[in-house]
Amino acid sequence: MAKILMKGNEAIAEAAVRAGAVNYFAYPITPQNEVGEYLARRLPEVGGVFLQAESEVAVGNMLFGAASTGKRVFTTSSSPGISLMQEAISYMAGAQLPVVLLNIMRGGPGLGGILPAQSDYFQATKGGGHGDYRLLVLAPSTIQEAVDLTMLAFHLADKYRNPVMIIGDGMIGQMMEPVEFPDSYTEPELPPKTWAATGADGRKPQVVKSLFLDPIALEKNNILLHEKYQAMKREEIRFECYKTAPKNKILLVAYGTMARICQTAIDELEGEGISVGLFRPITCFPFPEEALYAEATKSNIETVLTIEMSMGQMVEDVERVVARQRPVKFFGRTGGIVPSPEEVIQQIKQILASGQPTKVKV
Amino acid sequence: MQSLTTTFTRPEGLQDVVTHYCPGCTHGIIHRLVAEVLDELGVRERTLGVAPVGCSVLAYNYFNTDFLESPHGRAPALATGFKRLRPDMIVFTYQGDGDLASIGMSEIIHAANRGEKFTTIFVNNAIYGMTGGQMAPTTLAGQVATTCPMGRDTGKTGMPIRMCELLSGLVTPAYLERVAVHFPQQIIKAKKAIRRAFQYQIENKCFSLVEVLSTCPTNWGKTPAESTHWVEENLKSYFPLGVYKTPEGAK
Amino acid sequence: MPGVVIDKNHCKGCELCVKACPQKILSMSKEITLRGYFYAQMHDPSRCIGCRLCAITCPDAAIMVNHHGQLYLLYDY
């Protein structure tokens, strides 16, 4: 298939359609409005359902209802909107409903701003709603990867009967890049969706619910969910190492757009004879713990530097994994400010010289 | 001996279980009416119910149809999502006054305004039952509830909300009727309204909502019989029965 | 000859059927069921007219109404 120059938001929309997800419920919010605008035209072409709801609270609950049919459904929103959906997401996790949600993150907290940020990492990976549940969280760093991960997300949602969240950011949503779609959507075989509500025709009634008033039944449900998350940890961890080499003293850890900026910084430093590697988680849950530990504790690595577009959220996972085997440093910009490669380079040089990153002066 | 014919029995649409509802609570009657109508219209096998949070949270244990369990107040959104993907199925939400008129007000208004082709059975007993008798949006002025122990002060909490009248203000066509189930002749009329609502859905005509005045002996602090009289003398006067809107425009 | 069958395991003793019966032939039993309710019962089956009002007002669908031969139903339901 030829490459097409597309805006991230529209590429994501088309990727979903190619994955057979033609049912979309959403509410407008910058910086992901183009997804809905694109699908408003596109979904009728493929016999899908497009509905703009009255609020993201309604969106989350429309997804619950729609997913109960067994069909593929999804939504896209941005930080404040995703916050409004947390109750419904907790319910869908508890009721084991497959759904895909894309968070094109923007600066927070509160109304925050509309520029790119990564400050919803905790919400996405530690569970933004109530109860013991997790989302499978994927973090693309290019628009092509956003397309690929969006398609993958629908398979994983069905495979685990669990909500899957893709965390992009305003940059990934708004940027234009050439992307390629596969000629046809292929995926491993999935079991039939016998759990779907299709009408008690010649069978006992089927109930899609997360209510278990009997504590034994509720605990059983929690254990069942937990086993799925263990399975995700065994089978779904994805990450990428970029120019990690024996002569590196520093290991960068970054994801999404931030990782891409780090790659530019690494390439420039290479020209100056300074060798730095990057560890890039693609799944933020399940977090690539063993792989990061292996990279971070290599004898040549002296410092781990986590860089995020937030005040530091993934860094806590990095610290947990590295477990004080190496000093873990952090550098981050927020508010929608996207660090430039030069800033990253300056931090690296600073650490190489004094072992400390500089404090952000505002 | 001629053959024995049964002129009244438990409908197939109801599971043969004893409900958790309090003795004399008319939720049970409303469940039966919906089940009878689904059986008579022959749609039970392709019906989906959406249960709310409230006394009828366990409705899915009582109906012989597939069900979804909705977060508090969100049933109209679940029903919207489901019906849009399965327009061939008959979808109904079963909601109480706290669920529909308080936390779920936005969902019901927008579902009605979009003209979603599902049916809502709105049970109005002017109190929060499951949580133990708190004030609801439809609690009457002066009515005592655990969160208005001196009687509802409408100066501070506003007047009870008349849902049929409120929704009838929307321009999108709909079928809205308020009925009651406290005396047998009311129950018979209520069944006709519920049948008419589901008929509109089968004909894919419009959004339909039947508001059913119901009793709550436990939290009203009255016997079942006293509760039915309280509906007759108090609830019915503030919430007049009748048809508030039909898709044909005529009453 | 119409008759009424009350399933005492479903009856919760709410007495609404007793009030609804135009023939006043329903009353509450003196014993209680396993659930601890006094259940409704018919104390004079001969005067039952099969009008179904008891069954219609029962919140627990505990009452079945049947009859032998022809019965004129006063209203449709």
**Contact assignment for C16 to B228 by CB distance below 8 Å:** yes
Q: What is the pLDDT of residue C70?
A: 82
CATH number, residue B175 = 3.40.50.970
Q: Contact A30/A64 with Cβ under 8 angstroms? A: no
DSSP B71: P
User: What is the mean pLDDT of the segment spanning A152-160?
Assistant: 98
Neighbours, chain B (3 or more CB pairs < 8 A): A, C
- With pLDDT > 90 as the criterion, what percentage of chain A qualifies? 96
User: What is the mean pLDDT of the segment spanning B40-65?
Assistant: 97
pLDDT, averaged across chain B: 97
Range(s) of chain A covered by CATH 3.40.50.970: 3-235
Question: Distance (Å) from the C-alpha of residue C59 to the closest C-alpha of chain B?
Answer: 4
Q: What is the pLDDT of residue B251?
A: 54
- pLDDT per residue as tens digits for the range A329-338: 999 999 999 9
Q: How confident is the model at residue A216 (pLDDT cuts 50, 70, 90)?
A: very high
Ranges assigned E (strand) in chain A: 4-7, 23-26, 49-52, 73-77, 99-105, 136-138, 163-169, 176-179, 207-208, 239-242, 250-253, 277-281, 283-285, 303-308, 328-332
Question: Distance (Å) from the C-alpha of residue B137 to the closest C-alpha of chain C?
Answer: 25
- Within 8 A of B110 by CB-CB distance, chain A residues are 53-54, 58
**Contact assignment for B82 to A69 by CB distance below 8 Å:** yes
**Contact assignment for B84 to A64 by CB distance below 8 Å:** no
Q: How confident is the model at residue B118 (pLDDT cuts 50, 70, 90)?
A: very high
For residue B11, tell me if it sits in a domain.
no
Flag whether residue C23 sits within 8 Å of chain B, measured between CB atoms: no
Tokens of C40: 């409704």
Question: Distance (Å) from the C-alpha of residue B17 to the closest C-alpha of chain C?
Answer: 8
**Contact assignment for B188 to C63 by CB distance below 8 Å:** no
- pLDDT per residue as tens digits for the range C14-44: 999 999 999 999 999 999 999 999 999 999 9
Q: What is the pLDDT of residue C69?
A: 83
For residue B91, tell me if it sits in a domain.
yes
State how far the Cα of A51 lies from the Cα of A143, in Å rounded to an integer.
25
**Contact assignment for B106 to A53 by CB distance below 8 Å:** no
Q: Contact B38/B44 with Cβ under 8 angstroms? A: yes
pLDDT, averaged across chain A: 96
User: What is the mean pLDDT of the segment spanning A255-275?
Assistant: 97
Q: Contact B162/B241 with Cβ under 8 angstroms? A: no
CATH of the domain spanning A3-235: 3.40.50.970
Q: Contact A276/A268 with Cβ under 8 angstroms? A: no
Q: In this complex, does chain C touch chain B, defined as having at least 3 beta-carbon pairs under 8 Å apart?
A: yes
- Within 8 A of C19 by CB-CB distance, chain B residues are 225, 228
Domain range for B103: 27-129+163-246
- pLDDT per residue as tens digits for the range A336-355: 999 999 999 999 999 999 87
Indicate the burial class of C41 (C-beta count within 10 angstroms; 0-12, 13-18, 19 or more): middle
Q: Which of B64, B82, B84 is nearest residue A205 as measured by Cβ atoms? A: B64
User: What is the mean pLDDT of the segment spanning B103-124?
Assistant: 98
Report whether pLDDT(A362) > 80. Answer: no
Q: What is the pLDDT of residue B250?
A: 57
Range(s) of chain A covered by CATH 3.40.50.920: 240-354
State how far the Cα of A234 lies from the Cα of A155, in Å rounded to an integer.
17
ipTM above 0.90, yes or no: yes
Q: What is the pLDDT of residue C73?
A: 85
For residue B134, tell me if it sits in a domain.
no
For residue B220, tell me if it sits in a domain.
yes
Q: What is the pLDDT of residue A358?
A: 72
pTM exceeds 0.90 for this model: yes
- pLDDT per residue as tens digits for the range B97-107: 999 999 999 99
**Contact assignment for B26 to C59 by CB distance below 8 Å:** yes
**Contact assignment for C59 to B27 by CB distance below 8 Å:** yes
> At residue A4, what are phi and psi to the nearest 5 degrees?
-120, 140
- pLDDT per residue as tens digits for the range B6-29: 999 999 999 999 999 999 999 999
For residue B63, tell me if it sits in a domain.
yes
Report whether pLDDT(B96) > 90. Answer: yes
Out of 3.40.50.970, 3.40.50.300, 2.60.15.10, 3.40.50.920, which CATH number does the structure's domain A240-354 have?
A: 3.40.50.920
Collect all residues with Cβ–Cβ distance below 8 Å to B68 and sequence separation of at least 6.
A64, A65, A68, A197, A207, A208, A209, B48, B49, B50, B51, B78, B82
Split into its structural domains, chain B has a count of 1
Report helix, strand and coil shares of chain B as percent, to nearest 5.
40, 20, 40
State how far the Cα of B142 lies from the Cα of A265, in Å rounded to an integer.
71
- Of A213-217, A288-292, B87-91, C70-74, the range with the lowest mean pLDDT is C70-74
The amino acid at residue A212 is F
Gyration radius from chain B CA atoms: 17
For residue B35, tell me if it sits in a domain.
yes
